Amino acid sequence: MIYIHIPFCKQKCSYCNFHFSTSLQFKDEMLAAIKKEIFLRKDELQNKTLQSLYFGGGTPSILSGDEIKALIDEVLQYFDFTKDIEITLEANPDDLNNQFLKALSNSPVNRLSIGTQSFFDEDLKLMNRAHNASEAEGSIKRAQDFGFENLSIDLIYGSPSSGFETWKENLNKTIALQVPHISSYALTVEPKTALNDWIQKGKVSNPREEEQNKEFYYLSDFLKDNGFEHYEISNFAKPGFYSKHNSAYWKYKEYLGIGPSAHSYDGNEIRSWNVANNSQYIKKISSNLLAKETEVLSQEDQFNEMMMIGLRTIWGVDLSQLKSKFSEKILEHFQKETQSKIEEGILMVENDHLKIPEKHWFMADGIASDLFIV
């Protein structure tokens, strides 16, 4: 599978620390560099038949339909697509007008991930989103009218600008709109963001963990009662609508990341990432040089990643894969660290997979980190 990072946004969300630029001055040079990187790295994936192509960012919907199609055509020069390939475009609600949706509907893009975040203006203002509540709802309806059934929306819970009743209304609205996939995240305060600055200056209250915990478990119960499957801590889907792309990440499949700051993984022990600087990226690629750094993951690193990723999902950690991959020393550590947690009920073994019972999922990252080799 391939991920393409489009590093442009109209404006900066208050909570965001992803790599992007609000200037489109070098957009054409960036798109040319992305195409060239696809060519330069065309032989890195062992599997030349793609099951997933994902446009993330940044805001990929800042591009035109023709620009998106040109990138897809570039990929098709060197790779094949499966008949049921999932081609996802992350999009902001304010970009999804009739003209853009018509262009997308005539392209290979068949899945939209819409950055809704909330259906309430108070939340959207705090997050400094470019859209309003009306656009949040209207964009979903328009996408459906243009034939996009495979839709995912992002929702953020635990915002200090709203409370539990607002969160319930967000979920009611989502069900009414018949969206088949939801990615939902707690509002987190990252360093070097506007939100962090506002909190430090006392302009905004810090998100409260107990409120986020309450809203997370309501989210899970409510969506399951409405036919969704909770297949990863932050992801919910109607049957048949799991994200193929993200599921591949969680199952340690190989992937190629194109564009500034994009990450790649060979499915075994080699991980790489591109420079998170637009001008440096363009300069290197235009000189036929790769703009990436590479590391070989140690056995300990691979073990820690397997714990962190696997324990976030309904699939858990495959114990047979674990036993065949790691040394006796690591397996002894694993046995020692998991035994007491299994006895406590924080971990469980089911069908030869180690899992966290769903009632403890809100604490999953902490549970997984307790198993790390440090």
Measuring CA to CA, which residue among 274, 335, 324 is closest to residue 299? 324
CATH class of 298-374: mainly alpha
Predicted pLDDT at 208: 80
Predicted pLDDT at 342: 96
Which whole number is the average pLDDT over 132-147?
94
Domain ranges of the chain: 2-249, 298-374
Residue type, 319: L
Which residues are registered as beta bridge partners of 317? 354
Q: Is 359 exposed, middle or buried (0-12, 13-18, 19+ CB in 10 A)?
A: exposed
User: What would be the CATH architecture of the domain defined by 2-249?
Assistant: Alpha-Beta Horseshoe (3.80)
Which whole number is the average pLDDT over 341-359?
95
Per the CB < 8 A criterion, the answer to whether 301 and 313 are in contact is no
Q: What digits encode the pLDDT tens for the residues 300-327?
A: 999 999 999 999 999 999 999 999 999 9
Which pair of structure tokens corresponds to residue 332?
């002894």
pLDDT at 179 > cutoff 90: yes
pLDDT band at residue 195, thresholds of 50, 70 and 90?
confident
pLDDT band at residue 20, thresholds of 50, 70 and 90?
low
pLDDT at 115 > cutoff 70: yes
pLDDT at 104 > cutoff 80: yes
pLDDT band at residue 33, thresholds of 50, 70 and 90?
very high
Question: CA 28 from chain center: how many Å?
Answer: 26
Higher per-residue confidence, 189 vs 108: 108
Predicted pLDDT at 298: 95
Mean pLDDT of the chain: 93
Does the bond joining 58 to the residue before it have cis omega, within 30 degrees of 0?
yes
Predicted pLDDT at 246: 93
Which pair of structure tokens corresponds to residue 285?
């690629």
> What is the model's pTM?
0.93
